[in-house]
């Protein structure tokens, strides 16, 4: 599913970023902006056999700076993701927006390393024709450890503040959106 690639791509960008109190970059750094809009038809949406029109809007600004001695570390940024799903005359929207920080607290990104992350804002919300279905907002602080191949080997949640229905729900997306669209 293409829409999932957008969300997964954002998660990949944000998996490294995020924890409050991260130190500002030292001597190097650059601001990067990414923006795109994509419209497409998603066949067999969520395994329903139905085709759904998807419009993805993605915007992020992040500062690439030195963290833990590594000049390629994404340190902080903001993001907005909005995906609109339309089936017949019904639409549902998935939205994320917020900011993140990240700091390498052990190792270097070229080897085994751990990031201290904080994400603040709207981690996700789904709205359908009847209004808000689910909302996940607030602050989540966590540490993510990667091996030398950049595979995640450990995630430790340090602090959670706010309603985090999506964070706790597991498989929430397909059931919520297909119901909002009246599919299945």
The string of pLDDT tens digits covering residues 48-77 is 999 999 999 999 888 877 655 666 566 788
Whole-angstrom distance, CA of residue 15 vs CA of residue 11 = 6
* Domain coordinates in residue numbering, the chain: 2-181
**What pLDDT, on the 0 to 100 scale, is given for residue 33?**
83
- Tell which wins on pLDDT, 178 or 70: 178
**What pLDDT, on the 0 to 100 scale, is given for residue 42?**
95
What's the whole-number average pLDDT of the chain? Answer: 80
Burial of 53 (0-12, 13-18, 19+ CB in 10 A): middle
**What pLDDT, on the 0 to 100 scale, is given for residue 106?**
86
- Report the pLDDT averaged over residues 159-173: 72
**What pLDDT, on the 0 to 100 scale, is given for residue 16?**
37
Strand partners, 175: none
Condensed to tens digits (0 to 9), the pLDDT of residues 2-37 reads 444 334 334 444 443 333 333 343 335 677 888 999
Query: Is-above-0.75 flag for pTM?
Result: no
- Tell which wins on pLDDT, 110 or 126: 126
pLDDT tops 80 at residue 139: yes
Radius of gyration of the chain from Cα atoms? 18
Greatest CA separation for the chain:
55
Residues with Cβ within 8 Å of 170's Cβ and at least 6 positions away in sequence, in order, are: none
User: Could you tell me where the beta strands, DSSP code E, fall in 43-130?
Assistant: 52-65, 74-87, 90-107, 113-128
**What pLDDT, on the 0 to 100 scale, is given for residue 166?**
63
Q: What share of the chain is helix, strand, coil (3-state, %, to 5)?
A: 15, 60, 25
Considering only 38-42, 73-77, 107-111, which range has the smallest mean pLDDT?
73-77
pLDDT confidence bin for 107, thresholds 50/70/90: confident
pLDDT tops 70 at residue 79: yes
């Amino acid at each position: 599913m293409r829409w999932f690639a957008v969300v997964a791509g954002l998660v990949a960008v944000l998996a490294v970023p995020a924890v409050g109190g991260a130190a500002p970059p030292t001597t190097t750094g650059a601001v990067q902006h990414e923006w795109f809009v994509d419209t497409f038809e998603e066949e067999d949406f969520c395994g329903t056999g139905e085709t759904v029109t998807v419009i993805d809007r993605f915007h992020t600004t992040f500062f690439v700076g030195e963290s833990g001695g590594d000049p390629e570390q994404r340190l902080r940024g903001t993001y907005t993701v909005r995906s609109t799903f339309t089936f017949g005359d019904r639409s549902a929207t998935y939205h994320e927006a917020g900011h993140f920080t990240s700091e390498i607290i052990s190792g270097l990104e070229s080897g085994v390393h751990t990031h201290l992350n904080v994400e603040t804002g709207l981690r996700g919300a789904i709205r359908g024709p009847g209004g808000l279905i689910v909302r996940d907002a607030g602050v989540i602080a966590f540490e993510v450890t990667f091996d030398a191949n950049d595979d995640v080997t450990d995630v430790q949640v340090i602090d959670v503040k706010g309603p985090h229905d999506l964070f706790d729900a597991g498989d929430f997306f397909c059931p919520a959106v297909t119901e909002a669209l009246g599919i299945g």
